[in-house]
Amino acid sequence: MGTGLSEQLTRSVLKAPGFWGGLAVRAFTRSWGRDVMLYTGGVSFFALLAVFPAIAILIGFYKLGLSISEVSAQAAALSDLLPKAAQNIFQGEITRLSNASARTVSAQSAFALFVGAYAAHRGFKALLAGLNLIHDETEPHGFFKFNLLAFFVAIFAFALFTVVSGAVVTVRILAHASAAAGSPMRSGIAPLDAFLPAVGLVIGLTLLYRYAMSHRTPVAWLPATAGGLVATLMSVVSSWLCAIYVEQIAPLGATYGSVGAVVVLLIWLSWNVNAIFYGGAFATEMELAARAQAVADQELASVVNLSERRAIRRSRP
């Protein structure tokens, strides 16, 4: 089924003039013209609630096998993923946990595990429910299956985030070592610092759209990959616009005071969640376009076959 849809898109739909522009407009209508904003708020709130417990869990995990300097380097890589206006509160918490004893961090990590697991599970449930709404899923999952799916998606996302952050730190260490040795390889390694998080996000979102957005059959690879690419691009652009907004257009520190960094983080989260939902809408519209093209091809084939049969009948004596 998924392969057939991908072939339809590749052979005919993508060749249509104005296809991508019309698809983008329909995806925007699908993701913004419904009750998706309610799910955006839910995902953003629970993501904010899970951020700091996740920091404690990661720092506790890193302290089991890394030195303090390596933990600080890993934490710096994590903080770079956030907007600059929100990095202070993030880095302050990381510094406190990095300098604390392993016993203290372990105790806090154990408590954070319960809080973070609750918030992450609820956040991913809201995310999956929003994607199901966007994909026009009329028959919801059962209670047990839906909670189990949200649990596995959360585990995979946390594992992917850990791997990507570790890869970023490795690239930075290699770049620093190359610079210290005067090797020209540093210029080739440095761009990977910003490229790896984007690659990890594309992979994660592609798998999310393919396996978690549809109840009946997996979404075809081509729409899922296109949705992942579009969502990643929108996430990068929205993060950049968020930084401009909160740092140059509307500094939030004067309005919100000491909680300004939390507000910035919440704005950044909501914009990125909107990007994820838009990617899901984009993939859904690609699927619908492929199915419409398949129906049109079948109708055309039936008309041709009917014409051929009439011609054969007329040619008979």
pLDDT digits (tens, 9 = 90+) for 176-195: 666 656 655 555 555 566 67
Residue 208 forms part of a structural domain: yes
pLDDT of res. 120:
87
Residue 28 scores a pLDDT above 70: yes
Q: How far apart are CA 167 and CA 74, in angstroms?
A: 10
Higher pLDDT, 4 or 54: 54
pLDDT beyond 90 at 275: yes
- Top-ranked range on mean pLDDT: pick from 79-83, 152-156, 299-303: 152-156
Name residue 198's amino acid: A
The structure's pTM equals 0.79
The predicted structure's pLDDT at residue 71: 59
Domain count within the chain:
1
Tell me the mean pLDDT in the region 146-152: 91
Any residues with CB less than 8 A from the CB of 272 and at least 6 apart, and which? 235, 238, 239
Query: Does residue 157 sit within a domain?
Result: yes
Q: Quick check: is 67 in a domain?
A: yes
Q: Is residue 226 domain-resident?
A: yes
Tell me, yes or no, whether 299 lies in a domain: no
Alpha helices, DSSP H only, in 213-316?
221-244, 253-256, 260-315
* pLDDT in the model for residue 281: 95
CB contact at 8 A, 176 and 203: no
Residue 304 covered by a domain: no
Contact 142, 150 (CB under 8 A): no
The range of the structural domain enclosing residue 35 comes to 2-293
